[in-house]
Amino acid sequence: MTARHGDPAGSVDAAAADARPRADLTVRLDPNRLWRWHLWLVDEIAATGRYRIALDLSAAGAPMPRGLGLLLDLERLVFRLRGEQAAEPIPAETMRRAWPLARTSDPADLVLDLSGCAGAGDAPVLRPLFDGSPDEDVLLERVMEPAGLTLTIDGAARPERARPEVAGRPVLTERLNNVFSALLGLCLRALDGGAASGAGAGSPAPRRPGSTDLAAFAARAARAKVARSLTKLSREAPRWRVGARRTRDEDLVARTLRLPPAGYTILPDDGRRFYADPFLLQAEGTTYVFVEEFPFDTQKGIISVGTLDESGRISAMRPVLEEAHHLSYPHVLEHAGATYMVPESCNSGTICLYRAVRLPDIWEKVAVLVDGLDASDSTLHRQDGVWWMFAAVRERQGSRNDTLCLFTAPDILGPWTPAQAGPALIDATSARPAGNLFEMDGKLWRPAQDCSRSYGGALSLCTVERLAPEGYAQTRITTIEPRAPLPGYGLHTLNFAYGYEVVDVVM
């Protein structure tokens, strides 16, 4: 049976698995502004078996901005966007066919108001807010700018905030997909926790984006697409470079919170590849640097290794691990007399653990830690005998750069399970891992990527305030941007050990 087409019996099986009685939920939507993600959300709510669902399509507000539908259709053709998109306008009839409409005489236990319009009634209300406003035009304005955007659910018993990435590719569909995916997850978690109170009135209505804004956005996207094509043809696209230096504890970037005045020794490349994601390991007196090597010809990352000399100069690189899929971020660690690596392999949908048979060049896969997950930059940390994994996870049609999920296990081999329901953090400024966690001055620190303006655009340093099954909390202490003596467009990874420090920067 399926709950997709609104049959109340469609969620009987799911309800049987939950002893809680089902509540009556009204989902209020604006018939002039219906998106594919609305349909997906109602389907996922039904799949929980917790609610009897009815739609309220009576709150008709302002239509979508002129030209928006045309721009989204054009993007599907130009950028070859396949399949259904979260940011895909749908007609009201599609929703009516899928789910029954609420009758005015039907009382609701809870209202999920996605209309952005003021509603009346006695039932508790959950309402998404975009920078404090229920008006969707705030979202559209922030995404086209792009500027920072904070999502909250007004009225939720367990308040949660999300700052999704909106500064990725200049493709409005993809930016909206990311925001709507984050918003869908927020709504589901708010419904799971219930309502605390009625929704507030929100802030005043913003300036409504018009055809001029949409035309300007389309022009910027076209220019960016042409620029990317030209740089690809000319082989002069910006590329990541790895830097290293000798250091003392008092000189660490992690302690000074700024780049060193003397800079780093940069690992050269031949122009046919780049190197990124440096990690350090020392064995039998030799200090190794493991990196992602990305040959432009194959467009597939592999793991390579070099050595560091006394001055902090990195030797020539040689490949040590290659799979059929892309590999990067070679997170290496030692445990119980063995050396392990957890490289990023998001294209395979798995997080895998490798063990060194012979350092540094022979590795064997010993376990699949997590399966069926689009996860990036997985980073392991052991605390009080418990293993934790930090990973940037792409949910639905969201971004890999703004959602942090935690997993935990009693042993490095597993079993690994989610530490909590839903993401630990949705924040483009400090979610995606950027190197090993470390302890300093009695605190646990975590480097993270700041992707609020571009992927890997800067480096955030955060202190971990709480790391427990009950929840996760961190404080972003500072953000370090690439600048002299390390100029560039992005700063991406930080690791230090054995008297060395390594970073990478895009130039």
Q: pLDDT tens, 156-212?
A: 998 899 999 998 778 999 999 999 999 999 999 999 987 775 444 444 444 556 555
Alpha-carbon distance of 310 to 127, in angstroms, equals 59
Q: Is domain 238-506 in CATH 2.115.10.20, yes or no?
A: yes
**Residue 350 corresponds to which tokens in the numbers above?**
């798995």
Given a contact cutoff of 8 angstroms between Cβ atoms, the answer to whether 55 and 29 are in contact is: yes
pLDDT band at 66 (very low <50, low <70, confident <90, very high): confident
* pLDDT value at 486 more than 70: yes
**Residue 318 corresponds to which tokens in the numbers above?**
């040689």
DSSP code of residue 10: G
Residues 266-325 pLDDT 10s: 999 999 999 999 999 999 999 999 999 999 999 999 999 999 999 999 999 999 999 999
The residue with tokens 């395979």 is 348
What secondary structure does DSSP assign to 338-398, as a single string? EEEEEEE-GGGTEEEEEEEEETTTEEEEEEEEEES--EEEEEEEEETTEEEEEEEE--TT-
Nearest to 415 by CA among 474, 476, 371, 470: 371
**Residue 122 corresponds to which tokens in the numbers above?**
């006695």
Alpha-carbon distance of 450 to 207, in angstroms, equals 29
Rounded to 5, what percent of the chain is helix, strand, coil? 20, 35, 40
Per-residue pLDDT, 100: 83
What amino acid is encoded at 500 in this protein? Y
pLDDT band at 493 (very low <50, low <70, confident <90, very high): very high
CB neighbour list of residue 229: distance below 8 Å, 6 or more residues apart: none
What secondary structure does DSSP assign to 172-193, as a single string? HHHHHHHHHHHHHHHHHHHHHH
16 vs 114, which has greater pLDDT? 114
* pLDDT value at 218 more than 60: no
Tell me the mean pLDDT in the region 386-401.
96
Residues 85-143 pLDDT 10s: 999 999 999 999 998 887 766 789 999 999 988 666 678 999 999 999 999 999 998 88
Cα first-last separation, the chain: 54
What amino acid is encoded at 66 in this protein? R
Per-residue pLDDT, 15: 39
Per-residue pLDDT, 490: 87
Alpha-carbon distance of 122 to 320, in angstroms, equals 64
pLDDT band at 467 (very low <50, low <70, confident <90, very high): very high
* pLDDT value at 232 more than 50: no
Per-residue pLDDT, 211: 55
* pLDDT value at 384 more than 70: yes
Rg over CA atoms, the chain: 24
| 3-state per-residue secondary structure call for 26-44 | EEECCCCCCEHHHHHHHHH
DSSP code of residue 313: -
Per-residue pLDDT, 312: 95
Which helix (H) or strand (E) element contains residue 291? strand 286-295
How does 252-283 read in b/e, with b if 16+ C-beta sit within 10 Å? bbbbeeebbeeebbbbebeeebbbbbbbbbee
The residue with tokens 């109340």 is 8
pLDDT band at 460 (very low <50, low <70, confident <90, very high): very high
Average pLDDT of the residues of the chain = 87
Per-residue pLDDT, 202: 44
Per-residue pLDDT, 339: 98
CB neighbour list of residue 212: distance below 8 Å, 6 or more residues apart: none
| Beta-carbon-side half-sphere exposure of residue 48 (alpha carbons within 13 Å) | 20
pTM of this prediction exceeds 0.95: no
Given a contact cutoff of 8 angstroms between Cβ atoms, the answer to whether 125 and 106 are in contact is: no
How far lies 302's CA from each of 210, 322, 359, 397, in Å? 46, 5, 17, 26
Domain boundaries, the chain: 8-229, 238-506
Exposed, middle or buried by CB within 10 Å (0-12, 13-18, 19+), for 420?
middle
506 — alpha (psi -120 to 50), left (phi > 0) or beta? beta
CB neighbour list of residue 82: distance below 8 Å, 6 or more residues apart: none
Alpha-carbon distance of 256 to 350, in angstroms, equals 36
132 — alpha (psi -120 to 50), left (phi > 0) or beta? left
* pLDDT value at 7 more than 60: no
Tell me the mean pLDDT in the region 6-22.
46
Per-residue pLDDT, 271: 92
What residues does 440 pair with on adjacent strands? 443
pLDDT band at 330 (very low <50, low <70, confident <90, very high): very high
Alpha-carbon distance of 473 to 193, in angstroms, equals 19
